[in-house]
């Protein structure tokens, strides 16, 4: 098969997965019991007004019709209208995304910066004292719940020492843009630390295992026998082969980060997508829930597909088949 054909085939596979994701999101939201007009306050509305509202929100259409309308709207970039806030979901997302991107982007950058050297150090001499210490540390770190870390850090740095703010995103109004940015950064130190500590253990262990799998076989022994130094052996030979599982991991890290940031945003009271998701689930705001899960799914799938295509491109067996 030609290279283009192979890539097209892979993309087709991800198209099918995307369709399944979309269907699951819709079925989940369709199965959600109750609808936004079942509150007591809504029952006190005049019946004709209630019926008009139900028709306007398409609450009584058959499931198939609703699914078709939903997908058509999505294809036009229309994420729907929040039933809680009566505003377009896209507008709400635009307001909420910056905080979450600042929080999770910084955390993921930190995770990569710290996890790569930790994982490489472990895979360098497996079983060495340094490796055992790092393994114990990361296993222990993995077992610490993120909300416990948050409590501890809040108690120490915000309450006892009062170095950093306890929660929120700003502590003053009417200050210049520059000091507002500095203020936001101060507010994000503890939440970023919490998210990063949670992911660090997972990622560094994965880096180590992927590197060991890549360098553990006969090929690795041959390279070592040829006199490659340990560092060169890991960075030149291991990383290339380990790149594929690592890139795929980066993709599937996204839903984990979203789950983790839900807790962290709740604890630190940050107006991000985690708190938005939680409030929406609590208020049964189905359009927002559907949009958020779908966006998470699409971003994840996009990252995984990109990793897969990069892997296909990087793999000499696939490249030569062209």
* Identified binder of other proteins from the candidate list 1, 8, 11, 13, rule CB under 8 A: 13
Q: Distance between alpha carbon 157 and the CA centroid of its chain, in Å? A: 27
Name which position in 250, 258, 288, 307 contacts other proteins (CB under 8 A).
258
Alpha helices in 162-285 (DSSP H): 177-215, 218-225, 230-232, 239-268, 273-282
Local structure of 165: helix, strand or coil: coil
**Dihedral-angle region of residue 77 (phi above 0 means left; psi in -120 to 50 means alpha; beta otherwise):** left
Residue (169 or 300) nearer to other proteins, CB: 300
* Closer residue to other proteins in complex, CB, 39/65: 39
- In angstroms, the CA 24 to CA 40 distance is 30
Q: What is the spatial distance between Cα 241 and Cα 314, in angstroms, rounded to a whole number?
A: 9
Binding span for other proteins by CB under 8 A among 49-57, 65-73, 238-246, 288-296: 288-296
113 or 140: whose CB is closer to other proteins?
140
For residue 135, the surrounding DSSP H or E stretch is helix 129-143
| Residues forming a β-bridge with 277 | none
Least Å distance, CB 238 to other proteins, is 14
Tally of residues, the chain:
322
> Binding other proteins by CB under 8 A: which of 90, 209, 271, 306?
209
Number of residues that bind other proteins (CB under 8 A): 54
With CB under 8 A as the contact rule, the residue among 2, 34, 44, 317 that binds other proteins is: 34
Single out the residue of 118, 124, 169 nearest to residue 142, CA to CA: 118
Instruction: Give strand pairing partners of 88.
Output: 81
Q: Which of 236, 208, 204 is nearest to 220 (CA)?
A: 236
Instruction: Provide the minimum distance between the beta carbon of 70 and other proteins in the complex, in angstroms, as a whole number.
Output: 17
- State the minimum distance, in angstroms, from the CB of residue 229 to other proteins: 20
- Of 79 and 153, the one with the shorter C-beta distance to other proteins is 153
With the CA atoms of 91, 92, 95 and 97 taken in that order, what torsion angle do they form, in degrees rounded to the nearest 10?
-110
Residue number with CB closer to other proteins (70 or 260): 260
Q: Are 84 and 285 in contact (CB under 8 A)?
A: yes
Helix axes 89-124, 286-314, angle to 10 degrees: 40
Q: In the range 101-140, which residues lie near other proteins by CB under 8 A? A: 126-127, 131, 139-140
Cα Rg for the chain, rounded, in angstroms?
24
Q: Which stretch binds other proteins (CB under 8 A): 43-51, 83-91, 111-119, 144-152?
A: 144-152
Binder among 133, 151, 185, 222 for other proteins (CB under 8 A): 151
Site for other proteins in 293-312 (CB under 8 A): 293, 296-297, 300-301, 304
Rounded least distance, CB 20 to other proteins, Å: 4
Q: In the set 2, 4, 31, 218, which binds other proteins (CB under 8 A)?
A: 31
Residue 9 to residue 7: CA distance in whole angstroms: 5
Rule CB under 8 A: which residues touch other proteins?
Answer: 13, 16-17, 20-21, 24, 28, 31-34, 126-127, 131, 139-140, 142-148, 151-152, 154-155, 159-160, 166, 209, 212, 216, 252, 255-256, 258-259, 262-263, 266-267, 277-278, 281-282, 284, 289, 293, 296-297, 300-301, 304
């Amino acid at each position: 098969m030609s290279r283009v054909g192979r890539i097209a085939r892979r993309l087709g596979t991800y198209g099918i997965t995307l369709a399944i994701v979309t269907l699951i999101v819709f079925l989940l939201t369709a199965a959600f019991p109750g609808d936004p007009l079942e509150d007591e306050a809504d029952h006190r509305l005049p019946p004709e007004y209630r019926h008009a509202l139900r028709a306007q929100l398409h609450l009584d259409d058959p499931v198939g019709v609703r699914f078709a309308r939903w997908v058509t709207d999505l294809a036009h970039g229309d994420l729907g209208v929040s039933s809680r806030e009566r505003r377009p979901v896209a507008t709400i997302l635009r307001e909420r995304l910056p905080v979450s991107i600042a929080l999770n982007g910084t955390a993921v950058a930190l995770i990569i910066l710290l996890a790569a050297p930790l994982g490489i150090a472990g895979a360098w001499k497996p079983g060495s004292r340094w490796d055992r210490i790092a393994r114990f540390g990361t296993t222990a770190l993995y077992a610490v719940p993120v909300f416990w870390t948050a409590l501890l850090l809040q108690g120490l740095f915000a309450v006892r020492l009062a170095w950093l703010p306890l929660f929120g995103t700003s502590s003053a109004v009417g200050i210049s843009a520059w000091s507002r940015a500095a203020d936001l950064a101060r507010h994000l130190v503890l939440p970023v630390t919490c998210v990063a500590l949670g992911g660090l253990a997972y990622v560094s262990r994965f880096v180590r295992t992927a590197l060991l799998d890549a360098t553990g076989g006969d090929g690795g022994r041959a390279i070592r026998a040829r006199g490659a130094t340990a560092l060169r052996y890991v960075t030149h030979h291991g990383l290339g082969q380990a790149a594929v599982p690592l890139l795929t991991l980066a993709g599937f890290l996204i839903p984990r980060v979203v789950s983790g940031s839900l807790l962290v945003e709740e604890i630190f009271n940050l107006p991000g997508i985690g708190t938005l998701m939680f409030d929406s689930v609590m208020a049964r705001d189905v359009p927002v829930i559907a949009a958020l899960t779908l966006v998470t799914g699409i971003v994840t799938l996009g990252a995984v597909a990109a990793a897969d295509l990069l892997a296909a491109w990087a793999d000499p067996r696939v490249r030569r088949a062209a």
